[in-house]
Structure formats: structure tokens, C-alpha cells
Amino acid sequence: MPAKKTATPDFETAMKELEEIVENMENDQLTLDESLKQFERGVELSRICQTNLKKAEQRVEQLVKKHGEMVIEPFDSHQNESQDDD
């Protein structure tokens, strides 16, 4: 019976499933066919995670603005604390 198509998982769910796939593949208990299916699912989950991270990055970029221009700055809590003193 074919697997049911499920909704796209959120980032955390996709990462957890991806970690489980890696663990299963490292255990060498899968047949070649199972390994290929797991690999395909892993690629799909990896793309989902990359897409979610890109969306989050874009949201952060939209929030970080200076004088009407987009400025992308790395987050460094120590640097931000010293700048607050200025």
C-alpha cells in the first residue's frame, strides 16, 4: 500500500525525522530499496528545512532596517551590548 501524502512538516518535525533517517541508515539494518527510499525522504526533508530557514532569514531581514535601508547584520549579543552603551 503506498504511503499517504502528508502535509509539509514544520522545521523541527522535519529535522527530527531527518535525524531518525540518518540513524536508521547508519545502523545498516535496511535493505537497498529501503535505504534508497529513506535517502529520497531525507533529501525531501533537507529541502523543507532549507526552505524554512530561508523564509526565516527573509523575515529577519525585513525586520532589521536602518534609515529605510535594509541592513543585514550578524547577531552577536556581546557586540550588541557594547553598542547599546554608545
pTM of the full predicted structure? 0.64
What's phi and psi for 65, nearest 5 deg? Answer: -135, 145
Per-residue pLDDT of the chain (86 residues; tens, 9 = 90+): 445 556 889 999 999 999 999 998 898 788 999 999 999 999 999 999 999 999 888 887 777 765 566 666 666 655 444 444 44
Domain ranges of the chain: 11-84
Grid cell in block for residue 65: 532596517
Separation of first and last alpha carbons in the chain: 65
- Please name the amino acid found at residue 27: N
Reduced to 3 states (helix: H, G, I; strand: E, B; else coil), residue 10 is coil
Q: Quick one: CATH architecture of 11-84?
A: Orthogonal Bundle (1.10)
